[in-house]
Amino acid sequence: MLPEHGSVVIKGGRVVDPTGERDADVVVANGSVVEVGTNLKADTVLDASGCIVSPGLVDLHVHLREPGDEDAETIETGARAAALGGFTAVIAMPNTRPPHDEPSVVASVLASGARSLCDVHAAGCVTEQRAGEALAPLGELHTLGVRMFTDDGACVSDAGVMRRALEYARSLPDAVIAQHAEDPALADGGHMHEGAWSSRLGIAGRPGIAESTVVARDCELAEATGGRVHFLHLSTAAAVDIVREAKARGIAVTAEAAPHHFTLTDAECATFDPVYKVHPPLRSDADVAAVKAGLADGTIDAIATDHAPYASEQKERPFEEAPPGMLGLETALALTITELTIPGVLSLADALALLSWRPAAVAGLAEHGRPIAAGEPANLCVFDPALKWEVDAHRLASKARNTPYAGRSLTGRTRHTVLRGRPVVVDGEACA
């Protein structure tokens, strides 16, 4: 274990941040960056030769399962997985048991998060019990630091409720309503993308229009109310087009995409392996291409994992009975490098924008995604962009094993993670 309060120099890396790129050593102490330059010294050296030094990654969308499902994940294990993935901040989704619809639950999540290896922020529910009817106490949750409100896992499907939520959120500084855009009237009862594969496999489908109709409606509601909408896990070509047009019209919308929606298609479901079941579902080749194009042209603001751990006995059931969701925290950076950066879809700097500073801006996280310069908070990710490794589900820090990438060879891996000046991952190992 490294001393908590000594100075640390990250030596010999290439710094990539919102201001550009340069080769430099970075010294951190007492929670902040104190110097960026050449031939710097400190009490402890973290070797970064061959590595990129970037602001810590920011994940807008994780399920940490505490309270209620601690056999699948806890805040501690989820935060450790995040730190190993290069993340210094995550937003915990509110569909816990009980959900984040009252201040005491949020306060307890934040207290556990404060003791973990990653900054854990809590999203609050939009509606009581995520039932889609009465609004949750958004103002009270906002005073605890909640900035993102969502019923994720469920869609706010009632347009009147969504309108009232946006009107309320407009009065709360930096608040954003994050929508799981799948109209239950179209998607409920479906287990995979509705298309040629679902017909062939005889599995009931969730159509792409379940997403795009809600996205279109909510862009209109954002325009009408002046409230901000963030679209979670965008997965269809039609929805990407709608968000692109809405942004061109100046409407206050942002969007994220999950790694599984730019790396996997509905063809995977032919295995009937429930590890490929997720909501919204894995889509067609054309949808995957559109999500990549949306990431490349700035329509999509963030790569967010939708990390959704399950205990094996819950997930390993027949496809139609298994719950939706897959792990993401420990593979997101490598999937981005392997599937987007190396093939030339995105530059490394643009990929880091999607993984760090743009999501930090969406969520109003002032301590993350900052330039690496003296006086800035020392939340940093140091990764080797060329290191090849194979995903071994049994060696993940997450308590769960439901990764669809087991056995896949990926390129790029976190070497060190620094949280508030303290190394929490050193040479690929978590420090506590």
Kindly list the catalytic residues. Answer: 306
Among residues 256 and 384, whose Cβ is nearest to Zn ion? 256
Please identify which residue in the block is written with the tokens 């995604």.
369
Cβ of residue 400: shortest distance to Zn ion, in angstroms? 17
The structure tokens listed for 34 are 């104190």
Residues 6+ apart with CB under 8 A from 343: none
Residue of minimal Cβ distance to Zn ion: 180
Cβ of residue 356: shortest distance to Zn ion, in angstroms? 22
Among residues 93 and 161, whose Cβ is nearest to Zn ion? 93
Among residues 121 and 180, whose Cβ is nearest to Zn ion? 180
Cβ of residue 413: shortest distance to Zn ion, in angstroms? 27
Please count the other Cβ atoms lying within 10 Å of the Cβ belonging to residue 417.
29
Contact 383/56 with Cβ under 8 angstroms? no
How far is residue 415's CA from residue 383's CA, in Å, rounded to a whole number? 5
Cβ of residue 181: shortest distance to Zn ion, in angstroms? 9
- The CA–CA distances, whole Å, from 76 to 22, 28, 397 equal 34, 25, 10
CA–chain centroid gap for 57, Å, is 9
Task: Let me know if 321 is exposed, middle or buried by CB neighbors in 10 A (0-12, 13-18, 19+).
Answer: exposed
Cβ of residue 275: shortest distance to Zn ion, in angstroms? 17
Cβ of residue 188: shortest distance to Zn ion, in angstroms? 14
Residues 6+ apart with CB under 8 A from 294: 234, 240, 243, 244, 255, 257, 300
Report 144-173 residues binding Zn ion (CB under 5 A): 152
Among residues 16 and 329, whose Cβ is nearest to Zn ion? 329
Segment lying near Zn ion (by CB under 5 A), choices 9-17, 79-87, 180-188, 205-213: 180-188
With CB under 5 A as the contact rule, the residue among 180, 230, 358, 413 that binds Zn ion is: 180
Cβ of residue 308: shortest distance to Zn ion, in angstroms? 8
Report 213-272 residues binding Zn ion (CB under 5 A): 232
Among residues 232 and 322, whose Cβ is nearest to Zn ion? 232
- Say how many residues touch Zn ion, by CB under 5 A: 3
Among residues 219 and 232, whose Cβ is nearest to Zn ion? 232
Segment lying near Zn ion (by CB under 5 A), choices 140-148, 174-182, 244-252, 256-264: 174-182
What is the contact mask toward Zn ion in residues 98 to 137, using x (rule: CB under 5 A)? ----------------------------------------
Among residues 152 and 339, whose Cβ is nearest to Zn ion? 152
Residues that bind Zn ion (CB under 5 A): 152, 180, 232
